[in-house]
A = this chain, B = another copy of it.
Amino acid sequence: MSKYLTTIGEQIRKLREDQGLPLRKVAAKLDIDQSILSKIERGERNASKEQIIQIARIFEVEEKELLINYLSDRVLYDLIGEDLATDVLKVAEEKIKYFTKIRNGK
């Protein structure tokens, strides 16, 4: 079972609540309004990559862990309602393999 089967928003909310911090405090560190953070946690707004990195620092978790969850959510967002979604991801993987192979000299 992967540890990523949750949205980035849910993950952030859990981190915050586990530390017993109010939106206000965390939002202040991120230099945004608390209502924006509330919306990010509920998936109503999008966080920027920079904000995700700051959040990783604030809660002292691996940047990578949050980024993977964040980016995979964004990828899925592109595919909302597409029944081709699974095929698309497979092709995307092939392309990445192919292009990185090319980049590293044939």
Contact = CB atoms under 8 A, between A and B. Distances in A.
Interface of A: 2, 4-5, 64, 67-69, 71-76, 78-79, 82, 84-98
Contacts of A90: 93
B64 A94 contact: no
Contact of A72 (B71, B72, B88, B97): B88
Given A91-B2, A91-B4, A91-B69, A78 B75 contact: yes
A72 B95 contact: yes
A79 B76 CA distance: 12
A46 B91 CA distance: 19
B98 A76 contact: no
A98 B5 contact: yes
19 contacts: A2-B91, A4-B94, A5-B94, A5-B98, A68-B84, A68-B91, A71-B78, A71-B82, A71-B84, A71-B88, A72-B91, A72-B92, A72-B95, A74-B78, A75-B75, A75-B92, A78-B78, A79-B96, A89-B89
Given A75-B79, A78-B74, A78-B78, A67 B91 contact: no
